[in-house]
Structure 1
Amino acid sequence: MKNKKKLLVLSVFVVLAIIFSVVYVVAVGNHYTLHTKTFLGTEQLPRLEIKLSDDSVVRMADARMENEELVVVFEALNPGKTTVNISFEPEDGFAPLHERAFEVNGFHTLFDRTDGVIRFNGFQFVVYAALFVLFAVQFMTLWMFSDCRKRGDFSYPMVACGGIGIYNFVLFAYLLYRMLTSFIDSVDILISVVTETGQLLLFGLTPVMLVISVLLAVSNIRLIRNEGRRPVNMLGIVFAAVWFIGMVLTLGANELIILLGISYPKTVWLILIYVIAYFECMFLSTVACTYLSTKYLPPFDRDYIIILGCGIRKDGGLTPLLKGRVDSAVTFEKKQYEQTGKHAVFVPSGGQGADEVMSESEAMKNYLLSIGIPQEQIILENKSENTMQNMQFSKKVIEEHGGEIKDRKIAFATTNYHVFRGYILARKNGFEAKGISAKTKSYFYFNAFLREFIGLLVDQKWNHIVYIMLIVALIVTLNLVG
């Protein structure tokens, strides 16, 4: 089953859960069972007195003792509001017991709105439905993530599955824990669960994010020293600073109020917590996918291996970085031939820079010939100036050589920090390719995490915007209702 079909199944499940929840609440919501929390030490029902400010809105339908607790059932009659005073008669006359505030809506659903706490029959079903939806989302995202990893389908949708999986797991686990250890019977309790879950999620991710932020900043310092002070080489430092500010605004909110007198509404604070946690989950998923893409070994059935170019030496020789890419491609091809008897054609890809004596593809070809690769096993792509063009022009070269690329099995060889981007750009050019990873210095690798994370945000911006809007809408709705 393809991931689109899985998402369709999940969407149908969520819609059905919402529909069934609404139908169930409408069906049972015209009655409300009030557990008075009054235990009389007997199963004998006392004489009751019910006073209504408007007896056209609700009426008492039943009263009984359950495990020595007084339970009163009310029935909705007409839309409106009313107060209900409940008294019972002990041995020495009537004693006031409860004063409740009831409201009936247009669907004849009866709400208990006493002291701003909202309760109604069917609320437990809504909580269980939410739990099952979270479980379904968790199951489906993990399934899709695992399926992408097994098939070598490293992509931004895979990152999204991983991020939502991390995010959703904490929500599901904590909601399940609260349901097993306490009774969620009102909207205000559900709001407290949502608040606590957000804090738990953010607090739990903080140690991991702190370590990663430090590593990113340190690797950027090394990168700047070795490669120069370019904006792209400072991403880790910027990320660490932004993350620290986010932590101060959320986990350090109380300290901000004390030290600076800065405060903001609880709703804004809660939205900040969930949005920051969401992006942290997406970043951690990006790290995981980028790492897994370097560990994936393509099947030994490749027809072509594109070798992505980079700068060469002044004399036309290969830099260590480029040599590593070529050697990784050659090593893979030799293993493929040993195991299957099938040769792959090498496609060195890269044009000639203004300061280069020859094209990068020509330099790679010379090296391949020098280590014994035959001329007929090499075709050149010598016009590209960046990775996008590497893929775009290599596709044309392959189709000119061997026909439609969709009928060919392609691999590409590049440095480990660049593998995930290779998957993305191959797909953007309309073909599937599997990455072959070559090792390089760690400070390149860490910076790649951020580049791919930014790429994820840009490429899937509308999906992220929709998800964030859903988070905001949920929190605002819960707080308004509560």
Structure 2
Amino acid sequence: MQAIMKKLTFALIFLILLLCIMLPFFWINSFKFDNSYKYHNIDIVVVFGAGINKNGTPSPALKYRLDKCISIHNSQGVKFIFISGRKHEVFVMKKYLLYNEIDINKIIDDPDGENTARTIKNLKKFLDNFDQPLSIAFISQKYHLPRISILAKKYKLKNYFFVPTETKDIHFFLDLWLNLRESLAIYKAIFYD
């Protein structure tokens, strides 16, 4: 009887843990985006770091983010581009933007954005320098945007839009891993960041 109770307890704990992982996973994949950013004036575009290749070029995920940033900049003429990540990521991001003819005076470097929460905190400090609120476009892959939403609300940012980028060149298993990782990171954003 005791062995059966141990197995039932283990099964119950396993199911609870699985549910804790799967609920955010399903929420991430049902998160709705609209394209309303296309119809508003965007003052600042925020690009989150996403790693770099060994040869010093943006990873596929980061390249998609930067290309979307450039597209919005060219179509809407944004005032600022806030690039955030680790020091080496920010260097590669800035180099990529400059190569694509973005004015250096529009680029705001945040080499201390080692994670999403730190980027949002640093963005908040930058935005506090302005009397009027700036409209913000957060650019990232779809799986990352729900956590950005949680943190933007937590740090009382206003007037922001979400811009999902492509994931087509990201390997299926890497994409699956990133979605599962993001499921756990949502709990960190809610309870810790």
Under a length normalisation based on structure 2, what TM-score does the superposition of the two structures give?
0.71
1:407 aligned counterpart, secondary structure: coil
**Deviation of 1:458 (Å):** 6.9
2: CA distance, partners of 1:458 / 1:382: 22
**Deviation of 1:323 (Å):** 1.2
**Deviation of 1:305 (Å):** 0.6
* Change in CA separation of 1:454 and 1:397 when aligned onto 2, cut-off 3 Å: same
Question: Which of 409, 412, 435 lines up with 2:135 in the alignment?
Answer: 409
Look up the match of 1:391: 120
Look up the match of 1:308: 48
Look up the match of 1:347: 82
Note if 1:425 corresponds to 2:167: no
**Deviation of 1:310 (Å):** 2.5
* Change in CA separation of 1:398 and 1:285 when aligned onto 2, cut-off 3 Å: closer
Under a length normalisation based on structure 1, what TM-score does the superposition of the two structures give?
0.31
Bigger Rg over Cα: 1
Cα deviation digits, residues 123-179 of structure 1 (max 9, x gap): xxxxxxxxxxxxxxxxxxxxxxxxxxxxxxxxxxxxxxxxxxxxxxxxxxxxxxxxx
Q: 1:443 is matched by which residue type in structure 2?
A: F
Structure 1, unaligned stretches of length 5 or more?
Answer: 1-241, 247-271, 338-342, 353-358, 462-482
Look up the match of 2:76: 336
2: CA distance, partners of 1:350 / 1:445: 20
1: CA distance, partners of 2:79 / 2:124: 15
* Change in CA separation of 1:399 and 1:444 when aligned onto 2, cut-off 3 Å: farther
**Deviation of 1:459 (Å):** 6.8
Cα deviation digits, residues 230-269 of structure 1 (max 9, x gap): xxxxxxxxxxxx79x75xxxxxxxxxxxxxxxxxxxxxxx
Q: In 2, are the aligned partners of 1:417 and 1:448 still within 8 Å (CA)?
A: yes
* Change in CA separation of 1:376 and 1:460 when aligned onto 2, cut-off 3 Å: closer
Look up the match of 2:162: 435
Look up the match of 2:29: 287
Q: 1:363 is matched by which residue type in structure 2?
A: V
* Change in CA separation of 1:285 and 1:311 when aligned onto 2, cut-off 3 Å: closer
Q: 1:349 is matched by which residue type in structure 2?
A: S
* Change in CA separation of 1:304 and 1:443 when aligned onto 2, cut-off 3 Å: same
* Change in CA separation of 1:286 and 1:394 when aligned onto 2, cut-off 3 Å: closer
Q: 2:91 is matched by which residue type in structure 1?
A: E
**Deviation of 1:411 (Å):** 1.2
Question: Which of 84, 91, 111 lines up with 1:382 in the alignment?
Answer: 111
Structure 2, unaligned stretches of length 5 or more?
Answer: 1-10
Identity %: 25
1: CA distance, partners of 2:71 / 2:110: 21
2: CA distance, partners of 1:381 / 1:431: 18
- Structure scoring higher RCO (CA < 8 A, sep ≥ 6) equals 2
Look up the match of 2:3: none
